[in-house]
Structure formats: structure tokens, C-alpha cells
Structure 1
Amino acid sequence: MTTPAHSTRTVNLEGAARAAIAGGAPLALLIDLGMPGYAAFAMFAGFTAIFGATEPYRQRAVTTGVAGALQAACMLAGIGVALLGHPLWLQAIGLVVVLVVAVCTLTALQTIPAQPIFPVFAFVVSALVPLRPADVPTVLLIIVCSVAWAWLVAMSGVVLRRVIHPHAPHRLRPLGERKHRTLAVLRTRALRETVALNVVGSLVAGGVAEALPGLGHPYWAVIAVVSTLPALRQRHTLRRAWQRVVGTVGGTVVAVGILLLEPGVWWIVVIAVVGQFFAEIFVARHYAVTLLFLTPLALAVSWLSLPEAPQLLALDRIVQTVLGAVVSVALLLVGRAVERRRGRPLGATSAVPTI
């Protein structure tokens, strides 16, 4: 008897559904409870389910658990900065610490995604959400419960496979092989170079963005840098930076068009769920298309926690993203010059192959 081939369509739908449920359910609950100002924390916690999506479940339990703890720690660090009045110097120090910890952690775990975009995003936005000390217990409860929910959603495939797989194994995607992890990578020169690229690029982009008159949201320049710089086993390409700009501009236009219609909070939930679902569908195929869905999600949910004029939001988003992409490309050119001089890739060693 011939076994049916695994469906590539099912592969995409399985991970996309988990990502959408992990973030959408806590967000919907907060809206129902009349607490939209805490929406950003639910969204960042929901990103936990994205990590380890192709791993065997025993290993995925560790990966997702560590990623969830990292997301929670970054949000708590941001909240601490916010409660201290979010001074710029403290934001910068916190950003450096988050980058070092996130890059080292995600590299050691060999996660996908490998870039520290989600931990950094969680920190920089949490550092700006206006909170009072009295709000902290509620926010802590939201973060812990949302991360735990995302972990359970990420692990839900265990049950599905026991119920469905014996009868229709082709309906579920095959799991990847167990990753052979080692902490030895933390001692490599390649990792230090990767951390340095992210720190330098983020501080330069954030500093320039902060100095530009008439613009806000300098953290978007930082996000653009960390999402386009290479992870340890990757090569930096101009194509990714270009796709980041194109996808962000397109996604921003869509988001502003939606926000100008003054949608109700439940429409924001729909936007978040749909955006997360289709972002996961396209993330392995085309980065620019992914951002057409991810950008409206990020802007709409952030708008719940930090409401402001959509037009100003759009201008800041586009300009800061272009700035971050320019900084990223500049680091690419400098890095390639260094590579030519020393005869081997930047951020890679003979023990860590470059893809």
C-alpha cells in the first residue's frame, strides 16, 4: 500500500494556525475584559509559539520554554525601564543587554527565527508603554499566562499526532531531526562578531533615528537592523534589506488605511489573527510578502497600547525602517571588506559552516 505524500499546504497551515491561536486568544480575552492597553504584552508572549516549530516535541518543549522565558524577561526589563521614566541612556543599556542575551540564547538553541527581532521588539515597546506601579501585578499575570498558553499551543501537536497520525499520517507534516546543540558555540569568535554587528548596528540606527527632527519611534530603526542582519549561520544579503523596506512600506499603507477607518477593538483582534496566520504562511517563501501581513499586525496591536495619529505612525514607520535598512547595508559593505582582507566570512568559523 502506498503512503500518501505529505501535504506542503498542511505544513504551512499547521504552524500558521498555532501562531494565530497563541497570540489571538489572549488578545481576545483582554479585549473582552476591557483591557486593550495591555494588548502588546499578549502579542509579544504569543510569539513564543513560533520558536521550535519544526523540532521533535521533546526538544521543542525546551526551545519554546526558553524562548517564552526570554520573551517574558525582555518585557519585564522594558517595564522596569518604563517605570523609571524610560530615560534614553537606560533604554540603550537595556537594548545592549537584550541583544547579547538574545543572540547568544537563540544561537545556542539554533532556533528559527534566528535573529533577535522578537526579544528586541518585546523590550523596546514594553519600555514605552505607560504603566503605573499598581499595574505591574496585572501585567505580570498577563505575561505569565500568555506565555504559558503559547507554550501549550506550541506543544498541542503531540495530542493531534496521537489522535490523527495513526489514521492519516500524511495529514501532518514530518518533524525535523533532533538538533545537536552545544554551548561551545558561545565561546567562538564568530558569535562575538555576530553580537557586535547587532549591537553596533542597533545603537547607530537608534542614535541617528533619535536625532532626526520631527520623527518618533526610533526603535523601528533598531527593529529593521536586527531583522535584516545575519544570524551566525547566515550570510547578509542586500535582498533581505530591500525586501524589508518594500514589505514594510506596503504593510504600513495597509495598516494606515485600516486605522483611518477607526476600527473597533474586535476588528483589531481579527487583523492580528489574520496577520499572524498569513505571515507564517509566507515567511519561508517571501520576506516582503510576510511583512505585508506582519506590519499591520504590529502597528494595529501597538496602537491599542499606544494610540496616536495613523498618518504620523506611517511616516515614522517608513522613514525609520529605511534608516535601519541603510545602516544594515552599510554594515554589510564594511563586513564584506573585512572578509576580503582576512579571507573568511564575517561571523562564521570553520566549525560553524556558513549557509
Structure 2
Amino acid sequence: MTTPPHSTRTTNLEGAARAAVAGGVPLALLIGLGLPQYAAFAVFAGFTAIFGATEPYRQRAVTTGVAGVMQVVCMAAGIGVALLGAPLWLQAVGLVVVIVGAVATLTALRTIPAQPIFPVFAFVVSALVPVRPADLPLVATIILGSVVWAWLVAMSGAVIRRVLHPHAPHRFRPLADRKRRSLAVLRTPAFRETVALNVVGALVAGGVAEALPGLGHPYWAVIAVVSTLPALRQRHTVSRAVQRVVGTVGGTVIAVGILLLEPSAWWIVVIAVVGQFGAEVFVARNYAVCLLFLTPLALAVSWLSVPEAPALLALDRISQTLLGAVVSLALLVVGRRVERRRGRALGATSSIRTV
């Protein structure tokens, strides 16, 4: 009897379902308890489940656990900055520490996603959410509970496979080989150069965004940089930056159209779940389409935590994303020229096409 071929669609849907459940359940619980102002913490904790999605489960347990701790530390650092009044210099110092730590952790783990977008996102937004000292026990419970839930969701496939895989093996995606990990990579010039590109790009983009009159949310320029620059082991092209801008503009238009309807908190939960599911389905296929789902999720959760005029959110989102993309492209092009002069690859820039 011929075994039916494995469906690549199953791979996407399996990981997407886990990501949606990991973030959606804590978010729904917060809405049910009347605590929408803490929605961002539940969503950032839920991102834990997306790390190491293709790894064997024993290795995934470590990857997801480390990623969860990383998300907790980044949110805690952001909350600490917020409690100290969020001075700009402290945000900058915290951002540098988070980038260095996140790039080192993700590079050593060799995980996917490899870029520090989620830890940086967790830090910069947590630094802006108004939290009082009296709220800390509740916030800590939300964050830790959501991370533990995300870890359990990420590992749930092990149980499902044990029960169902013998009966329908073709329905399950083949897991990747176990990755060989070593801290030696953290001592290489390529690693240091990758860290430097991210730090310089984030500080430049954040500084310019902060100085521009009439615009807010400078952290979106930082997010655009760290999500556009390639990780150490990744191939990368200019097209990713273009896709970032196109997807963000399209996703922002969708988000503004939704927010102008003044949806209830429960509709935000639906948007977040659909957004996370769709983003995971398309992230490996087309980054622009992925952002058509991810951008409404980010803006809706941001609006739920700190309500703002949708039109202003749209202007800031598009402008700051364009700024971040320009900064990252400039860094990559300059890095490519440095490579040609010295005759060897520079960190993460060696795969960029400059034409």
C-alpha cells in the first residue's frame, strides 16, 4: 500500500494553530476578567510558542523554555524602565542590552525565528505600558502564566503525535534533525558584526524617529530595523525590506478600517487569533502577506492596551516602518561595500543584493 505524501499545508496549519492558541487563550482570559490594559503582556508571552517550531520535541522543550525566559526578562526590563519614568537614555541602554542578549541567545540556539524582533518588541512596548508598583504581582502572574501556557501549547504536539501518528503518519509534518549547538559561535567576528549592525541600526532609527516632529511610536522604526536585518546564518536580500514596507502599509490600512468601527475587546481577541494564525501560515512563504495579518494584530493589541486615534496610529506605523527599512538597507549596503574592500564577508550582510 502506498503511503500518501506529506502535505506541506499541514506543516503551516499545525504551527499556526499552536501560535494562535498560545496567545489567544490568555488574551481572552484577560478580557473576560476585565483587564484589557494588560493585553500586550499576554500576546508577547504567547510568542514563546513560535520558537523552535520544527525541532524534535526534546530539543524544542529547551528552545521554547529559553525563549520563554528571554521574553519574561525583556518584559520585566521594560516594566522596570517604565516604573523609573522611561527616560530616553535608559530606554536606549535597555534596548542595547536586549539586542545583544537576544541575538546571542537566538544565535546560540540556532532557532527560528532568528532575528531579535520579539524580545525587542516585548521590551520597547513594556516600557510604555503604564504599570503601577501595586500592579506588579498581577502583571507578573499574567506574564509567567502566559509563558507557561505557551510552553505547554508548544509541546502539546508530542502527545498528539504519540496518539495519532501511528494511524495517519502522512498527516504530520516531518520534524527537522536535531541541531548541533555551540557557544563557540559567540566568539566569532561574524557574531560581533551582526550584533553591531543591529545595535547601530536600532539606535540610529530610534534616534531619528524620536527627533522627527509630529510623529509618535519611534519604537516601530526600531522594530522595522531588527526585523529587516538578517540574522547571522540567514541569507537575505533587499526584497525583505520592500516586503516589510508593502505588507505594513497594507496591514495598516486593514487595521485602521477595523479600528474605525470601534470593535469591542472580544473582537480584538478574534483579530489577534486570526492575525497570529495567518502570520504563521505565510511567514515562510511571503513576508508581505504575513504582515497583512501581523500588522492588524500589533495595532489592535496596542490600541486595546493604550487607546489612540486609528488615523494617528496609521501615520506613525507607516512612517516609522519606512524609516526603519531605509536605515537597515543603508547599513546593509555600506556593509557590502566594506566586504568588497577587505575581501571577506561582514557578519550578516554577505547575501544582500545591491542591484
2:112 is matched with 112
1:322-355 deviations in Å (ceiling 9; x for gaps): 0000001100110110110111221169xxx979
Alignment map for 1:112-261 (pairs within 5 Å): 112-261=112-261
1:36 is matched with 36
2:301 is matched with 301
1:18 is matched with 18
1:266 is matched with 266
1:313 is matched with 313
TM-score (norm 1): 0.98
Give distance in 2, aligned partners of 1:205 and 1:52: 29
2:68 is matched with 68
Deviation at 1:289, TM superposition (A): 0.3
1:238-271 deviations in Å (ceiling 9; x for gaps): 1000100000000000001100000000000000
8 Å CA contact retained: 2:279, 2:290: yes
1:57 is matched with 57
1:83 is matched with 83
1:133-182 deviations in Å (ceiling 9; x for gaps): 00111000000000000000000001100110011111111100000000
8 Å CA contact retained: 2:56, 2:175: yes
Deviation at 1:315, TM superposition (A): 0.3
8 Å CA contact retained: 2:108, 2:186: yes
Give distance in 1, aligned partners of 2:6 and 2:237: 32
Tell me which amino acid in the other structure corresponds to 1:118. F
Give distance in 1, aligned partners of 2:97 and 2:235: 24
339-348 or 32-41: bigger deviation? 339-348
Give distance in 2, aligned partners of 1:184 and 1:172: 34
Q: Is the aligned partner of 1:92 residue 2:95?
A: no
TM-score (norm 2): 0.98
Identity %: 84
Deviation at 1:302, TM superposition (A): 1.2
Give distance in 1, aligned partners of 2:238 and 2:9: 29
8 Å CA contact retained: 1:236, 1:332: no
Q: Which runs of 4+ in 1 moved over 3 A?
A: none
Q: Taking structure 1 as reference, are residues 348 and 130 closer, same or farther at Cα in structure 2, changes over 3 Å only?
A: closer
Tell me which amino acid in the other structure corresponds to 2:20. A
Give distance in 1, aligned partners of 2:235 and 2:330: 14
Tell me which amino acid in the other structure corresponds to 1:313. L
Q: Taking structure 1 as reference, are residues 42 and 167 closer, same or farther at Cα in structure 2, changes over 3 Å only?
A: same
Deviation at 1:183, TM superposition (A): 0.6
8 Å CA contact retained: 2:230, 2:348: no
8 Å CA contact retained: 1:238, 1:329: yes
Give distance in 1, aligned partners of 2:33 and 2:249: 33
1:5 is matched with 5
Q: Taking structure 1 as reference, are residues 272 and 226 closer, same or farther at Cα in structure 2, changes over 3 Å only?
A: same
Give distance in 1, aligned partners of 2:270 and 2:264: 10
Tell me which amino acid in the other structure corresponds to 1:101. G
8 Å CA contact retained: 1:233, 1:354: no
Give distance in 2, aligned partners of 1:304 and 1:348: 36
Give distance in 2, aligned partners of 1:238 and 1:81: 34
8 Å CA contact retained: 1:75, 1:126: yes
8 Å CA contact retained: 2:124, 2:219: yes
8 Å CA contact retained: 1:116, 1:227: yes
1:287 is matched with 287
8 Å CA contact retained: 2:231, 2:348: no
Deviation at 1:9, TM superposition (A): 1.4
Tell me which amino acid in the other structure corresponds to 2:6. H
Tell me which amino acid in the other structure corresponds to 1:115. Q
Give distance in 2, aligned partners of 1:41 and 1:270: 17
Give distance in 1, aligned partners of 2:123 and 2:311: 25
Tell me which amino acid in the other structure corresponds to 1:167. H
**Secondary structure of 1:155's match?**
helix
Give distance in 2, aligned partners of 1:73 and 1:344: 36
Deviation at 1:7, TM superposition (A): 1.2
1:337 is matched with 337
Tell me which amino acid in the other structure corresponds to 1:35. L
Give distance in 2, aligned partners of 1:234 and 1:128: 31
Give distance in 1, aligned partners of 2:11 and 2:230: 25
User: How many residues are paired up?
Assistant: 352
